Amino acid sequence: MLGLNLIPPLVRTALSMLIVGGLVGYAGTAFTTTLVADSGLLGGGGESNDAHKYMIALLQRESDNIARLGPSRDVVSRALQQQNVSQQPQDVKPLTVTYLGGGSSGRVSVQIYAVEIQSSTGQYQFLPFSLTIIGGRVQHVD
């Protein structure tokens, strides 16, 4: 702190303003971009971070992340979901995951993916997934 006294007051004030301005700019941009993405003000055509994380969690059978990003549920429903995830066939391997696009209206947004999966027996499937997101949580998967 003693060293600060060696800096001329004008420079000290200017440095403070630079730091405050930087923080306001960073936090303001983060807040605005999140608000715009969640409200769909610009059409919501870009991939949502929540949808992306949910999709990856779904394919990698991360039941904790699926529960965290999915709709709010009671403890019994969450336990059932964990059982469902653990009972899914383990030999299914995702080959490709392609984000096709999305749209939104108000707080509701839809994000669509195409997924190629293959089981160890060689069975191949080319499937679409449509995620409905409300308030940052995936409410429905079609």
Partner 1 sequence: MSSTRAALILATFLGGLVMGVVIYAVTDKGAGANPYASLPKTSEPAVGADVARALANDDARALSNQLDMTVLQQLQTAIDPLVDIRSIKFVGAVEKNGRVLAAYVAGGRTNDGTDIVRGFVLRVTGDQIVGVN
First to last CA, the chain: 59
- Could you say which of 47, 62, 78, 81 contacts partner 1 (CB under 8 A)? 47
**In the set 39, 45, 119, 135, which binds partner 1 (CB under 8 A)?**
45
Does residue 95 belong to the site contacting partner 1 (CB under 8 A)? yes
- Give residues with Cβ within 8 angstroms of 37, minimum separation 6: 44, 46, 48, 49
Which listed residue (7, 19, 36, 42) binds partner 1 by CB under 8 A?
19
State yes or no: residue 100 binds partner 1 (CB under 8 A).
yes
Tokens of 131: 């995620």
65 is written with which tokens? Answer: 């992340």
Please list, in sequence order, all residues whose beta carbon lies within 8 angstroms of the beta carbon of residue 61, skipping any fewer than 6 positions away: 85, 86, 88, 90
Retrieve residue 6's tokens: 């060696």
With CB under 8 A as the contact rule, the residue among 36, 42, 49, 84 that binds partner 1 is: 49
How many other CB atoms sit within 10 Å of the CB of residue 51?
23
* Position 17 contacts partner 1 (CB under 8 A): yes
| Number of residues in contact with partner 1 under rule CB under 8 A | 56
Among 24, 36, 79, 80, binds partner 1 (CB under 8 A): 24
* Chain positions contacting partner 1, by CB under 8 A: 10, 13-15, 17-30, 33, 45-49, 51-53, 56, 59, 94-106, 108-112, 114, 116, 126-128, 130-132, 142
